[in-house]
Amino acid sequence: MEVSRRRYGAAPERLVRDAMSVRSWPSSSLSAAGRAFTLLVQPPTPVGFDGRGFDGLPDEILPLERLRALLLEPRTSVEVRDAVWRELVVRARRDGPAWVVAAVGIALPGLRHLAGLLALGWRGDTRDLDAELLVGFIERLTTIDLEPPRVVGRLIDAGLRAARKARDADCDAQLIHTGVTGPIAPVQPWDHPDLVLARAVAAGVIDADEANLIAATRLEDATLAQAAARLGITASLASSWRLKAERRLLEAIRAGDLAFVSLHPRRRRSNAVTHHRAAATHQRVVVSTNA
């Protein structure tokens, strides 16, 4: 695998020999990583993971493809996944490129899922995004703090940030240029501002009242006084709400928290949840008004 050879030295001889077969080697970085992982687990010298001493894993040497399947099972606890991934990261740092290939191969389902999301609306070569995703993941292997939870999640997040940085740098090339004067709909996954607000509500960054307040005063022609009247609050309180909501929204956008939030319909809240939310909103209004 080109990335691991560059950063971690020469790959095992068998992997290099098979990689040199240009006709059969995939052009996509993620597909190449998958091929390298397949070669790594092939007889006569497959790499295995010692499951002994890990609660929740079979007490034996596990083939890597079986280990990957076990980590993907819903019944496998988060604690077990983190314990295994801490060991995988240590092996990748200590034992050379074979374990870098192993770590990438075991994380490949998550990497491929993100690659599919990143490709939505992308008009460039998706192989470029795949390569950045993979480089970001592998580079993070060398520096990630193993104490906090979500070890593999944070590794994949690093790959996502690298891919999004490359995509953002080339975003001007994705603009749709036409001879018609007027607004142009943003290319996915940027989406229309209304959808950004909807994603923020779905992610819990802002609530529906705050989204309506921002939409009315920023995207429409309503004044703060008019928008406040619709919500039954004062204009000064509406201004305070909007300022705080927009700060949270800006932080979420910068962090990438709204990039792939699903807008699929959710189950209707129970009456108890609805009443609780209404009471919380009322309490916030009272506290803010008295402040």
In this predicted structure, what is the pLDDT of residue 259?
A: 66
Residue 185 domain flag: no
Give yes or no: residues 239 and 161 share one domain: no
Q: Which of 172, 206, 226 is the last residue of a domain?
A: 172
Same domain, 143 and 228: no
| Cα 105 from Cα 223, distance rounded (Å) | 54
| Residue 278 belongs to domain spanning | 193-290
Helices (H), the chain: 2-8, 13-19, 29-40, 64-72, 78-94, 97-118, 126-141, 151-169, 193-202, 208-214, 224-231, 235-255, 271-290
Report the C-alpha gap between 221 and 12 in whole angstroms.
64
Assess if residue 187 is contained within a domain. no
pLDDT at residue 230, as a whole number = 86
Would you place residue 268 in the very low, low, confident or very high pLDDT band (cuts 50, 70, 90)? Answer: very low
Predicted pLDDT of residue 12: 42
Q: 169-224: per-residue pLDDT in tens?
A: 765 444 444 444 444 444 444 445 777 888 788 878 898 889 889 988 987 778 88
- What is the overall mean pLDDT for the chain? 78
CB distance 110 to 156 below 8 Å: yes
Residue bearing the bigger pLDDT, 53 or 16: 53
- 63: phi then psi, degrees, rounded to nearest 5: -60, 145
184 is a domain residue? no
Residues 132, 275: one domain? no
Of 172, 203, 224, the one marking the end of a domain is: 172
Mean pLDDT of 14-28: 57
Average pLDDT over residues 115-121: 83
pLDDT given for residue 106 in this prediction:
97
Is the residue at 182 inside a domain?
Answer: no
**127 lies in a domain?**
yes
> Where does the pLDDT of residue 95 fall: very low under 50, low under 70, confident under 90, or very high at 90 and above?
very high
One domain for residues 27 and 168 = yes
Q: Which of 119, 141, 172 is the last residue of a domain?
A: 172
Residue 183: inside a domain, yes or no?
A: no
Burial track 232-255 (b if 16+ CB lie within 10 A, e otherwise)? ebbeebbbebbeebeeebeebeee
Q: What is the pLDDT of residue 84?
A: 97
CA dist 237 and 228 (Å) reads 8
Which whole number is the average pLDDT over 240-256?
88
Per-residue pLDDT at 235 exceeds 60: yes
Residue 179 lies in a domain: no
pLDDT band at 141 (very low <50, low <70, confident <90, very high): very high
Please state the pTM of the whole predicted model.
0.56
**Are residues 202 and 75 part of one domain?**
no
Q: What is the pLDDT of residue 168?
A: 74
Residues 28 and 116 grouped into a single domain: yes
Neighbours of 157 (CB within 10 A): 17
Q: How many domains does the chain have?
A: 2
